[in-house]
Structure formats: structure tokens, C-alpha cells
């Protein structure tokens, strides 16, 4: 047994609050940790804070942290069921998912090797949309703190899975963070659901199976589920997931544009909410159209109209210009942003419908009929956008005529000469007369029964129509249109539809429901799009088949308190997972008790082999004399450092004579322990405890390197690629960072010992002060 490990103290800091989770980035010197307040903080190796993400709500805890491989994207799982994707580079929240249960763990899988997976299916349409579709214009009206166009709603970099594990036992797989790639309920595959707890669920290195480590009654089991859809359709799934991500981005853009439309429409109403609207609200319903029509046709103005027309020509022009500017802004949003997003959406859905015709590869993922229905819904949304655009054009034209007529009328009533340029044509007079007549639409629900209702009990009149601006406003409400656009019977297409009713039922034509508002048509399109991506989830979920059940150990019964709060467990089970690509095997390290651990190596070469190494912290019968601390060690945490080493955190068991336990960092060599492993052929049901032998960690030659640590250490985070290790101690309020694999030099050793001595002095003083405070209390 090696007496010390090659590690050097970099620094230690007392944190302002309790740290509950830690995770190192495998490529950059970034460590993320979650606090008891629900905050997520990202900092560098030199303690420089990069960004702090606030808690998503009160009493929300951080359950899990996971960096995307070689990227700055961090997945965070919260106790309220939220999963957030945080970008440390842009310091923004990329996207989020909401589930109806507490999160156990979230993590990114290793990167999917596209070249390796594209042997059977090759796509030559990757990013082809950039050649045909213009880039959507940024929405300048959107709050800058919101997501911008250049940010993605799915993880960037190499494609990978995002796995979300719920405490209830449900597991969700997302490809590129966008496509729901199946789910599984582990409680359907156990014998004792009343005593169930999931510890970890991992995708294997070939992405065609999952390993689930869980409690089933009093047994610690590792369940192996194979999935043939994941195995056979990985490349088509990547293609579909990429388009799903583009569709999600376009949906977000449409929603943001809808927000801008609502704000622009409120601006139009605000511009009209002046003397014009005040005058309208002071009149009996129906009198405005009558008075204006009388003034327009006969040139006679009532006393109220004359008082209203006290505005000067300059005042009317100012109102006309502000309203016209607001309407043009609204028109621009519809014509450019919303129309462009609808065209993009139709392109992506058309591509997916084309994939559905390639049944050899996409039969399990896409239903052609559902995809075509989504295309038709998108086409109907595009028609509704054009309908809104025509309505806005008509309103702009009518309002311009109306304000010009108001200016002419003011000049005439003031007995001034009317310039020839302001004389209307016959068509303009007709359009203006129709606009004045439609200022106050007839009430639809009036009938003879209303006449019998006494005036005192009669309901108040509806909100005053602001010069019939509702023609546009009705499209931005989630209700049926009150003033549907009139059908132009002069158009050839409308004539064909009227003469051939079968066209309305033909799937080759896009339906145009004139009663739906823009909001309703958008929701109908979104529902049709969501239906397209139901089939991949259903196909993959139904393909999980339990192939192996491995009993790793026995656990004590779960108490009632433990069922209520799974964080406080009387048993101790922690695990770590690593994919060993060179050996084509998946490695799983787990503790089966406070003093015993297992390292499992499951081969992916097709030979169905399982190698198991069982070690314990207690000395064996032939172990040489050790320091007294080594006789009562127990596990605190463990993590794979790399495929050759396993980092462990251990501490001495407390007793009356030694109230403060000692902590040790153990670097365990897996290559040295490989001679002690047992080899098994995978079977449907295996009980490893009866087929393996436990070895003392002290009896393995050059197997374990111990390093004494200061304080009571409770959590470990290591990174073999960064060659660093972080330890939490002193009730998770002190973070200590070490550099690993340093050269054994005398100066470094002396420096490390001196640093340990200084920390020990601080710890003794802190312990003394705590004992004094307890004595005083």
C-alpha cells in the first residue's frame, strides 16, 4: 500500500453558505457548485467567480449538475422539477424544461460519434436551410435580458443525450436537448415498489442500452435495458433531432414576435386614447357613425361634433402621423418577422414529411400522415398571417382617409379655402363612407327579448369601439373573430372554392378557417407540430426490454422517515460511471455498504462479459500492521478519476474517545486491482454477492494511495483531464482544491505539509471555538 498520493494543495476557501453539489468541467478550469439557497455559481481554479445564476424559486434546492462534454453548457436539475441549461460563456439561461416531480439527477452523455453512426444512413441536407432561407431579423422590441436570436434552445457542440432522472423512477431521454427520445418508468420493472429508490441511470457507450442502479425492497440491483430502436435508428434520430431543434427555435421566435405584436398594438391603442376616444366614449352607441355620416353626406355637424372639431389642422395631422407610424410598425412585424418565421417553419416541416417517405430509416420515428397534417396547419397559419396583413393594410388606408377628411372638415367649418390636392376621388369617398358606417358594428346578441328587460336591470353597453380598431385587435386575442374578413367573390380561387365544396375536404389543399384568430391558429399549429414528435417517444419507450438484472448487495429495510426524505438514508449507496472507449466497456463503481465497494466492467464487444472487483476498507486477516485510523474507515464519496484510477473519500468512524473523525483521500488503482477481479457471463438474473470475493484495499499491491486531509470531509469532485480534485469539509462550508499527478519533489512535499499544518491549526482553533460555544449554551 502506498502511503501518500501525489497531490498538492492549491488553496482553500470558507464559503459564504453550504455547498450541496460540485462538478468540474472536463476541458476548462471551471467548477460549478450549487448552494443551499438554490444558486448555481461558476468559478475558475483561481477562485474567480464567472457568473452566479439565481434560484428559480423559494425553498428550491440544486439536485444535480452536469457539464456538456468539452463545452461551457451546464445542465442543472432543481427540486421543483425544473431542468435549466446554463451557458457559462454568455452567462445566460439557454432554455429550460419543467417536470411534475422532484429531480434526482440530470447529466449529459458522452458525445455521439456522427461518423461512426452514419454508416447506414447519410444525410446530405445538413444545414441546407441556410442556403434557401433568409436569416430571421432580430426582434429589437424584445427585452435584452430575454433570449436573443443567436442563442440556441438546444445544446451546442457535438450531439449528445440529456438524461433526466426523476425521484419517482421515471427517466426521460432528450437528444440535442430538443427531441424527446423516449422514457421509461423503472417502477414497472421491480418487485417492491413500496421500498424503491433510484440511485443512478446511465446510457451505455453505444447508446443502445441503459443501466439503472436502484433499490428493490432490500436488494441493491443493477438493471440492464436494451433498446433496438436506439441501436438501429441513431443516425435518423440525429437528423430528426436537428430539425426538431430548428423548429423549437422557430416556435420561440414566433412567440417572441407575438409579444412584440401585442406591444405594438397597445401602442396603437394608446395613440388613439386621446380626444378621439374620449369623444367616442361620451356618445350613445350608434350615434358616432350617424353623426359622421350626416356630416360626410350633407355637410351638417351637430353641436357635439362641432365641439369635438375644435382641434386645429396641425393637431389632427399630429394624431394621424403617430397612428400611421404605429400601424406601419405593426405591419412590418407581420410582414417581415411573422411571415418569415412561418415560411421557415413550413420548410422544416416539409423536410420532416420528406423523411417520413423514407420508411426504411424513419418508419419508427415519423408518421407521414401526422407530418402532412402539421404542414397543413402551418400553411393555415401562414394564410392567417396574410389575412392579418391585408386587414392592417385596409385599416391603414382607412385611417389615412379618415384623418385627411377630418382635416378637410375642420378647414371647411372654419370657412377656409380647401386646396384642390385635398379633394377626394369617387373611390376614396366610397371607401370613407364604408369606414364611417363600420365604426360601430351592430351588436350580434340583440333580440326582441332584450326589450322586455327593465332599464335598471339591463346590462351595461359593451366597451366602446375605438373607431373599429377591433378589426385588427381581434386577431391578437384567444377567441373567435367577431368581424371575419369578407370573402372577395371576384377572386378566381374563392369562386372555385364556392363552386367545388370537395376542395375544403381535400388534404392536398391548405384549410383556411376564417373564424379563427391568429392566436388560435398558432396554437393549432403548435399542437399539430407536437403530435409529429410523439411517435419517436412512443417507439423508443416501447422498445426498452429488460435483459439483465444483477443483484449487487443487500440493504437494510427502508424506514418511514427514509421514505419521506430520501436524502437521509441509513444505508450508504453512491456511484460513479465512466465509459472506457479503448476497451469497449462501461465501468460502474458503487458502494454497497459503508465499508465495501464494487467496480463493475460491462463489456460491449458482444461477448456479454462482466468483470467485478470487490474491495473493502477494513484490513484483511493477512494485512500488515496499520495505523489505528485505517481499522475503522468508512466511505464518504467516490468518483472515477479516469479509466485507470478511482478517487475515494473516506473518514474514520466516530466514537466517544475520538469525537472528531479523520478524513482521507484515497486514489485507488484499477489496473493494480484488475488481477483480483472475477469474470462472469451475463445472465438474466445474477447475484454477485454469492459469486465474488471481497479483497481488502490494503492487501492490493500498489493499489491504494492515502492522503490525510484536514477537517471532516463530506463531498468529492475530481477531473482527470484537468488533474484537479476538490473536497468539501466543515459541514460543506469549506472548499479545498488540490492539484493531482504532480512530480514528487522535495520542495513540493514540504510546501504541501506546511500548508496542511496551517490548515490543521485553523481547524483546531475553529473546533475549540465551537466547543466553547456549545459549553456556554
pLDDT of residue 510: 86
The total number of residues shown for the chain amounts to 777
Helices within 611-745 (DSSP H only): 670-673, 688-691
Grouping H, G, I as helix, E, B as strand and the rest as coil, residue 398 is: helix
As given in the structure block, the three cell numbers for residue 480 are 373567435
pLDDT band at 527 (very low <50, low <70, confident <90, very high): very high
Grouping H, G, I as helix, E, B as strand and the rest as coil, residue 49 is: strand
pLDDT band at 617 (very low <50, low <70, confident <90, very high): very high
pLDDT of residue 371: 95
pLDDT of residue 315: 63
What are the φ and ψ backbone dihedral angles of 608, each rounded to 5 degrees?
Answer: 55, 45
Query: In Å, how far from its chain's centre is CA 323?
Result: 40
Give the 3-state secondary structure percentages of the chain, helix then strand then coil, rounded to 5. Answer: 40, 25, 35
pLDDT tens digits along 470-520: 678 888 889 898 888 877 767 777 777 777 777 777 777 888 888 999 999
Q: What is the mean pLDDT of the segment spanning 417-423?
A: 64
pLDDT band at 195 (very low <50, low <70, confident <90, very high): very high
Higher pLDDT, 140 or 299: 299
* Residue 223 pLDDT greater than 70, yes or no: yes
pLDDT of residue 452: 42
Higher pLDDT, 181 or 3: 181
pLDDT of residue 154: 59
pLDDT tens digits along 358-395: 988 899 999 999 999 999 999 999 999 999 888 888 88
pLDDT of residue 458: 40
* Residue 754 pLDDT greater than 70, yes or no: no
Give the HSE-up count for residue 727: Cα atoms under 13 Å, Cβ half-sphere: 32
What's the whole-number average pLDDT of the chain?
Answer: 81
pLDDT of residue 695: 93
> Does the model's pTM come out above 0.85?
no
pLDDT of residue 122: 62
pLDDT tens digits along 347-358: 999 999 999 999
Nearest-angstrom CA–CA distance, 33 and 40: 6
Radius of gyration of the chain (CA): 35
Flag the least confident range among 66-70, 420-424, 445-449, 456-460. Answer: 456-460
* Residue 668 pLDDT greater than 80, yes or no: yes
DSSP collapsed to 3 states, 205-232:
CCCCEEEEEEEECCEEEEEEEEEHHHHH
Grouping H, G, I as helix, E, B as strand and the rest as coil, residue 639 is: strand
Nearest-angstrom CA–CA distance, 15 and 20: 12
pLDDT tens digits along 673-687: 988 899 999 999 999
* Residue 757 pLDDT greater than 50, yes or no: no
Give the torsion sign (CA, 135, 138, 139, 142).
positive
* Residue 266 pLDDT greater than 50, yes or no: yes
List own/partner pairs for 117-123 with CB under 8 A and 24 or more apart. Answer: 117/234, 117/235, 117/238, 118/235, 119/235, 120/235, 120/361, 121/235, 121/236, 121/239, 121/361, 123/235, 123/239
Amino acid at each position: 500500500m502506498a502511503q501518500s498520493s501525489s497531490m498538492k494543495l492549491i488553496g482553500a476557501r470558507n464559503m459564504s453558505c453550504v455547498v450541496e453539489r460540485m462538478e468540474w468541467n472536463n476541458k476548462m478550469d471551471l467548477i460549478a457548485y450549487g448552494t443551499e439557497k438554490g444558486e448555481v455559481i461558476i468559478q475558475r481554479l483561481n477562485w474567480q467567480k464567472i457568473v452566479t445564476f439565481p434560484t428559480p424559486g423559494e425553498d428550491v434546492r440544486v439536485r444535480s449538475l452536469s457539464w456538456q462534454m468539452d463545452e461551457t453548457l451546464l445542465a442543472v436539475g432543481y427540486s421543483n422539477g425544473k431542468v435549466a441549461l446554463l451557458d457559462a460563456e454568455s452567462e445566460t439561461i439557454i432554455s429550460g424544461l419543467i417536470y411534475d416531480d422532484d429531480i434526482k439527477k440530470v447529466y449529459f452523455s458522452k458525445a455521439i460519434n456522427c461518423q461512426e453512426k452514419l454508416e447506414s444512413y447519410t444525410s446530405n441536407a445538413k444545414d441546407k436551410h441556410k442556403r434557401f432561407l433568409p436569416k430571421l431579423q432580430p426582434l429589437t422590441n424584445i427585452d435584452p435580458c430575454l433570449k436573443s436570436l443567436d442563442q440556441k434552445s438546444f445544446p451546442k457542440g457535438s450531439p449528445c443525450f440529456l438524461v433526466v432522472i426523476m425521484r419517482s423512477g421515471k427517466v426521460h431521454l432528450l437528444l440535442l436537448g430538443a427531441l424527446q427520445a423516449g422514457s421509461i418508468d423503472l417502477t414497472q420493472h421491480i418487485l417492491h415498489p413500496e421500498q424503491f429508490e433510484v440511485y443512478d441511470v446511465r446510457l451505455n457507450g453505444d447508446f443502445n442500452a441503459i443501466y439503472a442502479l436502484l433499490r428493490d425492497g432490500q436488494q441493491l440491483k443493477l438493471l440492464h435495458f436494451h433498446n433496438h430502436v436506439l441501436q438501429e435508428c441513431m443516425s435518423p434520430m440525429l437528423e430528426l433531432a436537428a430539425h426538431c431543434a430548428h423548429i423549437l427555435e422557430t416556435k420561440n421566435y414566433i412567440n417572441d414576435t407575438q409579444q412584440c405584436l401585442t406591444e405594438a398594438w397597445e401602442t396603437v391603442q394608446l395613440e388613439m386614447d386621446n380626444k378621439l376616444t374620449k369623444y367616442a366614449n361620451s356618445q350613445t352607441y350608434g350615434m358616432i357613425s350617424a353623426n359622421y355620416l350626416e356630416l360626410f353626406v350633407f355637410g351638417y355637424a351637430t353641436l357635439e361634433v362641432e365641439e369635438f372639431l375644435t382641434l386645429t389642422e396641425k393637431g389632427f395631422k399630429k394624431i394621424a402621423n403617430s397612428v400611421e407610424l404605429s400601424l406601419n410598425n405593426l405591419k412590418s412585424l407581420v410582414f417581415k418577422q411573422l411571415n418569415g418565421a412561418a415560411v421557415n417553419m413550413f420548410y422544416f416541416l416539409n423536410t420532416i414529411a420528406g423523411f417520413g417517405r423514407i420508411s426504411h430509416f424513419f418508419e419508427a420515428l415519423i408518421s407521414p400522415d401526422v407530418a402532412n397534417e402539421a404542414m397543413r396547419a402551418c400553411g393555415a397559419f401562414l394564410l392567417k398571417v396574410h389575412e392579418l396583413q391585408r386587414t392592417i393594410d385596409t385599416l391603414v388606408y382607412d385611417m389615412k382617409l379618415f384623418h385627411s377628411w377630418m382635416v378637410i372638415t375642420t378647414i371647411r367649418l372654419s370657412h377656409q379655402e380647401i386646396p384642390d390636392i385635398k379633394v377626394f376621388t369617387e373611390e376614396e369617398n366610397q371607401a370613407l363612407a364604408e369606414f364611417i358606417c363600420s365604426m360601430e358594428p351592430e351588436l350580434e346578441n340583440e333580440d326582441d327579448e332584450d326589450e322586455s328587460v327593465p332599464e335598471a336591470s339591463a346590462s351595461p353597453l359593451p366597451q366602446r369601439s375605438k373607431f373599429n380598431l377591433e378589426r385588427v385587435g381581434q386577431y391578437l386575442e384567444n377567441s373567435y373573430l367577431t368581424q371575419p374578413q369578407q370573402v372577395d367573390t371576384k377572386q378566381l380561387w374563392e369562386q372555385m372554392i364556392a363552386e367545388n365544396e370537395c376542395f375544403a375536404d381535400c388534404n392536398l389543399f391548405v384549410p383556411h378557417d376564417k373564424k379563427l384568430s391568429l392566436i388560435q391558429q398558432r396554437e393549432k399549429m403548435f399542437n399539430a407540430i407536437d403530435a409529429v414528435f410523439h411517435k419517436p417517444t412512443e417507439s423508443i419507450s416501447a422498445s426498452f426490454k429488460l435483459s439483465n438484472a444483477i443483484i449487487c448487495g443487500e440493504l437494510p429495510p427502508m424506514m418511514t422517515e427514509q421514505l419521506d426524505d430520501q436524502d437521509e438514508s441509513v444505508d450508504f449507496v453512491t456511484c460513479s460511471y465512466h465509459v472506457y472507449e479503448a476497451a469497449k466497456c462501461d465501468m460502474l463503481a458503487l458502494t454497497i455498504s459503508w465499508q465495501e465497494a464494487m467496480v463493475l466492467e460491462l463489456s460491449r464487444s458482444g461477448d456479454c462479459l462482466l468483470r467485478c472487483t470487490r474491495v473493502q476498507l477494513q484490513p484483511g486477516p493477512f494485512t500488515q500492521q496499520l495505523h489505528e485510523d485505517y481499522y475503522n474507515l468508512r466511505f464518504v464519496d467516490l468518483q472515477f478519476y479516469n479509466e485507470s484510477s478511482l478517487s475515494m473519500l473516506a473518514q474514520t468512524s466516530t466514537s466517544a474517545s475520538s469525537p472528531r473523525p479523520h478524513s482521507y483521500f484515497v486514489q485507488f488503482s484499477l489496473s493494480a486491482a484488475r488481477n483480483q477481479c472475477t469474470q462472469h457471463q451475463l445472465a438474466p438474473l445474477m447475484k454477485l454477492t454469492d459469486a465474488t470475493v471481497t479483497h481488502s484495499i490494503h492487501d492490493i499491491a500498489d493499489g491504494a494511495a492515502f492522503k490525510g486531509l484536514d477537517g471532516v470531509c463530506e463531498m468529492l469532485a475530481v477531473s482527470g483531464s484537468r488533474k484537479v480534485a476538490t473536497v468539501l469539509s466543515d459541514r460543506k462550508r469549506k472548499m479545498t482544491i488540490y492539484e493531482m499527478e504532480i512530480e514528487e519533489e522535495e520542495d513540493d512535499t514540504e510546501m504541501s505539509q506546511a500548508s496542511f499544518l496551517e490548515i490543521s491549526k485553523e481547524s483546531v482553533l475553529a473546533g475549540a471555538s465551537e466547543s466553547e460555544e456549545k459549553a456556554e449554551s
